[in-house]
Structure 1
């Protein structure tokens, strides 16, 4: 009798285990199916129908999308937006062709441009693929600045201090309606798969925990782009990266008007000890529309961050930063990330070795480009990454050098 009871209990147990496994498999399959549906929906939202597609030699696919069908117009605040095809004023510029600068060539060459071009009336958009979304924590988080704790206090800078480290030249305290500079282009080492590194310009406004910013420069970001190439980028946020903003055109926001430049596409050539290359980056407020226009090398106007995205930045910025950042979970920790900033060399290595930013300019309500009346240097982790506003002799403007290797003997 005991044997019969034991066999009955064993059969019931096995039956329940089989049923539980079946339910678990069904639940997992349902979750996988829902995840696939989320990815498909996101891909459809991000990748607009193309008039023409271009296969780049670096593996990117560039879609030429009708300018009126770009991702910006998925934003609720831009549903009835009328595209401003060009600034309402002539953006401030200056002649940089001086003898001293002849050894510092500028460039704006993107790899995809060697394989074709987009027709007027369209804009080039780097196609987002399934593997790109699968690298993100979720399809909705793709293209966004990682912000693990939305309630954490964020200082008046572009990153949560626990994740991002900066070496910057900054000016603060006035109303700025533009900033520009020439940014030396390098390809620093990337260590951890979620790390990224930039060299850029930021204009910021608003309170420290919910600051607004518009940004542009170059970046190496394998989690976003799938490789370690140096790429042109833009970024914006209206709340300190808690819920709004993204890189490039990976969310609705930035309105592109130019058919020659693809945001997020690789730049070439890259600087080395023997040859230096740079891009010119400028961001300017249109005083009539309050849109922030992005201008690149050779006065190439790319598009704008619409005024309707912001509250504080509709009038001006109160802080401008030039320099670099490294974003990683392994900063201010040991072992520190080995992701490099700039060229991966410290600022004291100077020209030909360290990354530089020169022709630093701001614009105030005089609408003239000028060197800031006051600048300061700020380094989060000076033994890991540093910056120095260096001047050769007593004549001429200083050049901001910055960078570093990350982990080393002084940055364990």
Structure 2
């Protein structure tokens, strides 16, 4: 037993000497070395990401004939029609000719309705043959991919989205029209708030196809709190598609109005109201979907962008939506004017003259309007009817309040 213990001690001593001697020749790593190496890795990752973003910016920020800087700081580029992002899509490269405006739906009232924006408020304009495109920056590229746009179909999987809307479903719809008044709701953090119309194909076991247009306040996308004109499209349940012209899809034909640009003037509480008509409809001949704001025909979404919307829509929606990733108490982001629907005209937001378009390209007043508000103590909706406004809704709310903790 004594011999074994002695051998054990000798062996241990030899191993200790060898290990100690070896350690003298190993490189010494400090916490500073680890930090610098980690920072180098992060820097390389950021550089790679910025390289990809800059490459994408070069694709969508096209050469321009004229550049206009608006009073809000926006830069609007006047881009030749055939150079716009939509024509980067392979299936559209050979179709760059300027389409004639399709037949306006029967029953459309041609009353002058202007979309006024800040970028051209000083009298600036884009030359004939060009279209105005709001210049995109790196921040918009990184945020434009956030999955923060949904229809009611996606609500079970999207509790961070709340709506206060009127809707019709269960028929064949070939478009929609309504008049929305414009506000500047307070939006906090990474939230957004909007008022819009939706034209949706929402078939069972099919991803939603959706066309949407209205105004929104989206600081994450635009880095400010101004209400801005937008449209949006998705062919596959919001897995792809995008706002405005940030990715190829929508073909703009109008030189006077700019997607993504700030709207001015806006409505004031208990004061002057400013509203604009929005219409999306399907051209019976080409089957493309066209978009009109005010009295300006803006352009179209080619039908081959979609699956189910190549034919018709199955539901139409009107009203407001708030998105918030807030997981604590309810967000204080406002919807509409920030006031509840029961306050009525000049105090609550409204959508009036709700109409749908049938297969004969005819406008019809909405019948059998249903209402939805997931959290009516936060954001609510009510509908009414008058000879002047037809079917209409008031909607909105302040978000967080004593009844909406």
TM class by smaller structure:
0.7 to 0.9
Q: State the shift of 1:73 in Å.
A: 1.5
How do residues 263-412 of structure 1 correspond to structure 2 at under 5 angstroms? 263-272=259-268, 273-298=270-295, 300-330=296-326, 334-391=328-385, 397-412=390-405
Quote the RMSD (CA, aligned, Å).
Answer: 2.7
Q: Which has the larger radius of gyration?
A: 2
Q: Distance in 1 between matches of 2:314 and 2:69?
A: 42
List alignment gaps of at least 5 residues for structure 2: 1-12
Structure 1 residue 14, shift from structure 2 partner: 1.6
Could you tell me how far apart the structure 1 residues matched to 2:91 and 2:246 are? 17
Distance of 1:36 and 1:10 partners within structure 2: 42
The equivalent position to 2:86 in structure 1, one of 68, 72, 81, is: 72
Structure 2 residue aligned with 1:89, among 76, 100, 103?
103
Q: Aligned partners of 2:88 and 2:156: how far apart in 1?
A: 26
Which of these residues, 114, 119, 122, is aligned with residue 127 of structure 2? 119
Counterparts of residues 30-41 of structure 1 (less than 5 Å): 30-41=44-55
1:181 equivalent to 2:178? Answer: yes
Alpha-carbon contact 1:156-1:207 (below 8 Å) kept: no
Q: TM-score, normalised by structure 2?
A: 0.88
SS of residue matched to 2:212: strand
Matched, 1:262 2:269: no
Separation of aligned partners in 2, 1:382 and 1:259: 41
Distance 1:195 1:72, change over 3 A: same
Q: Decide whether the 8 Å contact of 2:336 with 2:397 is kept in 1.
A: yes
| TM-score (normalised: structure 1) | 0.87
Q: Using the alignment, how far apart are the partners of 2:288 and 2:133 within structure 1?
A: 21
For residues 333-363 of structure 1, the C-alpha deviation after alignment (integer angstroms, 9 at most, x for no partner) is: 5401111111111110100100001111111
Q: 1:96-146: CA deviations, max 9, x gaps?
A: 87xxxxxxx95410000124110111110000123434xx3xxxxx42451
SS where residue 119 of structure 2 aligns? Answer: helix
